[in-house]
Structures are given as C-alpha cells and as structure tokens.
Amino acid sequence: MTITASDGVQLVGHYYERKKNAPVIIFFHGFWSDCYTNSVPIYRITEEKEWNLLLVNLRAHNESGGDVSTLGVLERYDCRDWANWVDFEFGEQVPIFLMGISMGGAVAVMSSDLELPESVCGIIDDAGFTSPLEMIKIGSKEKLRFELLTDLFARIVNAGTKIWGGFDLKEANACAAVSKTSVPVLIIHGDKDKKAPVSMAYKIYNSCKSERELYIVSGAEHTGCYRTDPEKYKMIVSEFIEKHIPQ
C-alpha cells in the first residue's frame, strides 16, 4: 500500500492482516535497511497473537520515495502519517502501536510528541538513538578522538544538511519528544551496543514523562536483543502491548 506524506513524498508499506479489529503494529526499520530486515521478531509475535502488522519502508529507502534520509527529522512526521492512515482505514476503535529498531526506533519515539491519533496506545523502541547529531559525534569519535572536534564535525554536517538538504538535524531529538508525550513507551536496548550506546536508552527513559518501561538485554549488541534472548524479548513486547490494549 502507498500513502502520501505531508510533504508529498510517496511512502510504501506492506500490510499483514491476521484478524479484523485486532491491534495494528506499525514497524519501522533502520538506516540503510528495508521493511523486512529485523522485522522477524515482531512478525512472529503478531502471527502468534493474531495481531495485524504494517511493515513500512522509510523515505529514501527501497520502494518509498524521497531523495534523502533525514535521520528522523521528516520521518517522525511520516510515522504520524502512517498512524493517521491506519486510524482512518480501520477505525479509531483499532489500537495502534508504533515500533521500530535502530533509526526506526528513534523515529517512533521522536513522533511521540506530535498530534498522533488517540488510537495510538504505545510506542516500542528497540536500539534507538537519542538524536542524529549524537550519532554523528559517536561515529566520528574514533577518528577525531577529541570531543571538541567531534562537536565541530557535527555542526559542519548539520550546516551541510541545512544548505543542501533543507532540513535541520537539531529538530530530531528523542529525549525532547518523550518529555512531552502521554503515550506509554517501552525501551529495549543491549548493554553491549557500540553504535547506539546503552546510555542513550537511559537518557530517553529518564526524559520520558509518560508511563515507561526499560528492558536492558545483557550481552546484546546493536539490534541484537531478540537474538540474545528471543523468548524473553517476545514476552516483554507482548506483555507491553497486551497491557495497553484498551479493555
């Protein structure tokens, strides 16, 4: 299925219907990935529970339109647009849960302070980051070493995105978003994550003003929480969703 984003970009998703009026989980993948990569856990969970699943291709990825990934700046609005589409298509009585992994997890969380449909009952963030600027700093630290240089590099990159891309990376901030949300949030993260350090999970969790849960997986690297302990992962995600389905 295809929707038109608020800025006119065509976005593509794949919908798996298991049961009418059952919850719909909208899943967002990571950077340089696609809607099928890392979606096996939520696919299996929704299949077992007979919940419906929408796998989304983020803008500038695979079948979706858009010239460039904005690392959450515009994707958070796309997340809202998908939620609005599900709400309109299936009715406000159908519970919606937003879930993502890596950048997709960050996108889901970053959308939390937007005007989401009331049918959005929860957000699940697996290995998401706090902000694209922080990720740029972490990625450049090994070569630049000094914090002053990584800060300068991040500012230069952001200046470039504003000039040539037309977007400001400072606008995408997971901690700022969850500090203004009322939507329940589940944060999942591996304590051996070197790409998005586990400290980011704690920052998002501590900034969150809504009902929140934190699940840290011992020994798990980036996007490896399910592989490390699949049964516990499925239990945590399933219980969070079941807890927040309106009775």
What CATH number does residue 222 fall under? 3.40.50.1820
The answer on 81 and 178 residing in a single domain is yes
The answer on 96 and 30 residing in a single domain is yes
| Separation CA 60–CA 10 (nearest Å) | 10
| Separation CA 25–CA 16 (nearest Å) | 10
CA dihedral defined by 217, 198, 139, 124, rounded to 10 degrees?
70
pLDDT at residue 147, as a whole number: 64
Kindly give, in sequence order, each residue whose CB lies less than 8 Å from that of residue 142, ignoring residues fewer than 6 positions away.
Answer: none
Kindly give, in sequence order, each residue whose CB lies less than 8 Å from that of residue 20, ignoring residues fewer than 6 positions away.
Answer: none
pLDDT at residue 247, as a whole number: 87
Report phi then psi at 156, rounded to 5. -65, -45
The answer on 161 and 56 residing in a single domain is no
* Contact by Cβ (8 Å): 221, 190: yes
pTM: 0.95
- Digitized pLDDT (tens) for each residue of the chain, 247 residues in all: 999 999 999 999 999 999 999 999 999 999 999 999 889 999 999 999 999 999 999 999 999 999 999 999 999 999 999 999 999 999 999 999 999 999 999 999 999 999 999 999 999 999 999 999 999 888 766 655 656 567 777 788 888 898 888 999 999 999 999 999 999 999 999 999 999 999 999 999 999 999 999 999 999 999 999 999 999 999 999 999 999 999 8
* Domain that includes residue 106, residue range: 2-131+172-244
The answer on 115 and 79 residing in a single domain is yes
Q: Tell me how many domains the chain contains.
A: 2
The answer on 232 and 138 residing in a single domain is no
Concatenated DSSP letters of 177-203: HHTT--S-EEEEEETT-SSS-HHHHHH
Kindly give, in sequence order, each residue whose CB lies less than 8 Å from that of residue 163, ignoring residues fewer than 6 positions away.
Answer: none
The answer on 147 and 27 residing in a single domain is no
Cβ neighbours of 116 (radius 10 Å): 20
pLDDT at residue 128, as a whole number: 98
